A = this chain, B = another copy of it.
Amino acid sequence: MNNKKHVSLKDLAEELGVSVSTVSRALKDSPEVGEEMRERVKKLAGEWNYRPNPFAISLLKNNPRIIGIIVPDIVTHFYSSIISGISDVARKNHYSVIITSSYEQYELEKQCVEDLMNIRVEGIIACISQETTDYAHFESLIMQRVPLVFFDRVCLHGRCSCVVADNAESGKAATEHFLHHGAKRIGFIGGANHLDIVKQRKHGYLDALRQYQIPIERELIVCEKMTYEEGREATRKLLALPCPPEAILAMNDTLAFAAMKEIKEQGLRIPQDVALIGYTDELHSNYVEPALTAITHQTYEMGVASCNLLLQHLQKNQSPKKVVVPTRLIVRGSSVKSPFSKIE
């Protein structure tokens, strides 16, 4: 048709012999344009496959309708599932989403913030990296009044909205589950201590022990990085104790699967010798053997909640809110010793 890549209002106007203003109005069903005119314009726009140039509109209105996301990584099911929830809500509200990964690194996380600001996203939804202990890059966003919502791993409490799981409760519930089923010496494998989620889940764990008047043993608590290898190492440490734990609570799916592998490789049985509970999503817990008892996050819902929260902030200035998305303890084979287990 014409050599230019995109059709503009001007192109349409020239072809129809009218002004750009008229074409613009006709296309958005302005009441001040003639019925017949509207028809003609729309017909040609359809034929020529006209699409409004989003950059012109963003330039004009200063609202690019883009939301930025920062996650530690995108391949972990937990995050991709949350992203999925965010994207769906965003799309329904005619927002695009740009996803960036910090790869659990502080420096890269700062870069992500920088990149998103350069793209001029309207707001950011983030989950901080394991490494991050300084939050200046996020504080600067608050100063610039860029709406900001954290999920799962949060910071700057009270200064921006966040979506979290009921961490303390779930840590307590898992621990109580062990206690109800006869285990008294319970190991806890967590991630870096400075993370809120670690603190809170550990808090729940300790709380349950206290309530049941179980003495707390420091060496049963191992908090390092949340990687597969560290999980193996932590489990090895626990099992090598003079008096090893009868049960282990692992703080995410990588750690849980690592613990499971290590326990098995040492020739111990799950749950008879060591019971195991993880934090994970439903997908893979069923594939392993025994099926993994786990605290299940409603990841998709967390994404939906995060995006809704951000949209609220985008629409009007609002004081920070905190949304707690409940978890559930799904009991499978890895935690309950069958009544016959002691006879075997």
Contact = CB atoms under 8 A, between A and B. Distances in A.
Contacts of A5: 62, 144-145
Contacts of A288: 287-289
Q: How many copies does the complex hold?
A: 2
Interface in A259-282: 260-261, 264
Nearest to A59: B55
Contacts of A6: 62, 120
Contacts of A64: 55
A54 B119 contact: yes
A81 interface: yes
Interface in A50-68: 51-56, 58-59, 62, 64
A74 B62 contact: no
Contacts of A257: 287
A74 B52 CA distance: 28
Interface stretch (A23-31, A96-104, A205-213, A315-323): A96-104
Contacts of A55: 55-56, 58-59, 64, 120
Which 9 residue pairs of A and B lie closest in terms of their CB atoms, listed nearest first? A55-B58, A55-B59, A289-B289, A75-B80, A55-B55, A80-B80, A257-B287, A287-B288, A74-B80
Contacts of A98: 96-98
30 contacts: A5-B145, A6-B62, A51-B118, A51-B120, A53-B120, A54-B118, A55-B56, A55-B64, A56-B59, A74-B80, A74-B83, A74-B84, A75-B80, A75-B81, A80-B80, A87-B99, A87-B100, A87-B101, A91-B115, A96-B98, A96-B119, A97-B98, A97-B99, A257-B287, A261-B287, A264-B289, A284-B284, A284-B287, A287-B288, A289-B289
A268 to B, nearest CB: 14
Interface in A1-45: 5-6
Contacts of A260: 287
Nearest to A254: B283
A117 interface: yes
A226 to B, nearest CB: 15
A77 interface: yes
Contacts of A73: 84
A119 B119 CA distance: 14
Interface in A99-115: 99-101, 115
B58 A84 contact: no
A330 to B, nearest CB: 17
Nearest to A52: B118
Interface string A228-264: 0000000000000000000000000000010011001
Nearest to A79: B80
